[in-house]
């Protein structure tokens, strides 16, 4: 089934109304990060991981447990949230029909936030479409180094709204203001299986168990498995980090490239993947095209 965009219905419109046509794929990467998002990159503080590794990062402490934090918790709080790439990662305060929730998003363009589909549309716990979301780039506790904005305009995929298919658990939050012009945005990339395998990935977001969704926490490790639409990695995460960017650096002094949209803990790992890993819907060529379509839509004021 073809990947299509499903916007949040306006009042009186049924879900699945107007469909945005994906843009043509012209390259394996799109939405190049502005130079300012790289020049002061705090990866130079020896935190960000780069390239590939045949060996895992082995945490100290007890063995693996059946939680999303894989053994000893290796997450580190990010305090330099005014720096790139951390400032391009946003805390999400989500108001749903049945209550309030937290999540993570990241800038893919001046007015486009990418996140997990279940951060904007979820039927079992949230009660359907989110009513509104407050987006805070680079939040650090009560400190808001950049302007927070609010949106009630969202899009997700047809296979998320119709089937809650975890391979298609991705969404866009559409903004009225071009906050990305101030903080920058991520590049996204589609890579072949063999290139992603063992790549060292970074995942940073706003977990509920640390700072109640107001503090940014980061961890790193390698990709352990790849399927046509998912990537699986040994990186510690927790609820609230759904929607976080799974990003790589190909080399030093290159921009970060998002290769997945974090969405699941070990409970979301299929039975045919015999590993204790977390996972993300994968950025493949048609996902690149859909993200570009959302960016173009927002640039046009759609």
Q: Which of 118, 136, 140, 262 is flagged as catalytic?
A: 118
The residue from 140, 204, 242, 279 that is catalytic is 242
Q: Residue 266 forms beta bridges with which residues?
A: none
CB-based contact 263:278 (threshold 8 Å): no
Tokens of 41: 């990159």
Q: How far apart are CA 78 and CA 141, in angstroms?
A: 11
> Does 42 participate in catalysis according to the annotation?
no
Q: How many C-beta atoms lie closer than 10 Å to residue 183's C-beta?
A: 24
Q: Per this entry, what is the length of the chain?
A: 302
Query: For the chain, where are the E strands, in sequence order?
Result: 5-7, 29-30, 76-77, 89-96, 99-109, 112-115, 121-122, 128-129, 132-137, 149-151, 154-157, 171-174, 187-189, 200-205, 217-226, 230-233, 245-248, 257-261, 278-281
Question: Tokens 């279940």 belong to which residue?
Answer: 118
Q: In whole angstroms, what is the distance from residue 82 CA to residue 75 CA? A: 19
174 is catalytic: no
Q: Which residues are catalytic?
A: 118, 242
């Amino acid at each position: 089934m073809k990947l299509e965009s499903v916007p949040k219905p306006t009042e009186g419109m049924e879900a699945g109304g107007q469909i945005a046509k994906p843009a043509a794929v012209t390259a394996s990467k799109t939405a190049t990060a502005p130079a300012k998002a790289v020049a002061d990159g705090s990866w130079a503080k020896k935190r960000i991981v780069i390239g590939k590794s045949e060996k895992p990062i082995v945490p100290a402490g007890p063995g693996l447990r059946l939680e999303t934090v894989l053994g000893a918790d290796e997450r580190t709080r990010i305090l330099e949230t005014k720096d790139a790439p951390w400032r391009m990662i946003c805390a999400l305060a989500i108001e749903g029909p049945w209550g309030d929730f937290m999540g993570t998003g990241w800038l893919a363009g001046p007015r486009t936030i990418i996140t997990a589909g279940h951060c904007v549309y979820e039927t079992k716990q949230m009660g359907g479409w989110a009513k509104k979301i407050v987006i805070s780039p680079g939040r650090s506790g009560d400190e808001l180094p950049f302007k927070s904005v609010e949106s009630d305009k969202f899009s997700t995929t047809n296979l998320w709204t119709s089937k809650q298919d975890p391979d298609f658990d991705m969404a866009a939050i559409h903004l009225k203001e071009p906050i990305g012009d101030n903080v920058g945005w991520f590049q996204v990339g589609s890579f072949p299986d063999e290139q992603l395998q063992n790549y060292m990935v970074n995942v940073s977001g706003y977990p509920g168990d640390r700072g109640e969704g107001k503090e940014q926490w980061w961890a790193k490790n390698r990709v352990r498995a790849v399927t046509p639409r998912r990537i699986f990695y040994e990186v510690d995460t927790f609820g609230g980090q759904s929607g976080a960017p799974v990003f790589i650096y190909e080399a030093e002094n290159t921009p970060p490239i998002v290769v997945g949209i974090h969405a699941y803990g070990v409970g979301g790992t299929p039975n045919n993947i015999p590993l204790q890993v977390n996972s993300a819907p994968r950025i493949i060529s048609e996902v690149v095209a859909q993200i570009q379509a959302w960016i173009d839509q927002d640039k046009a004021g759609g």
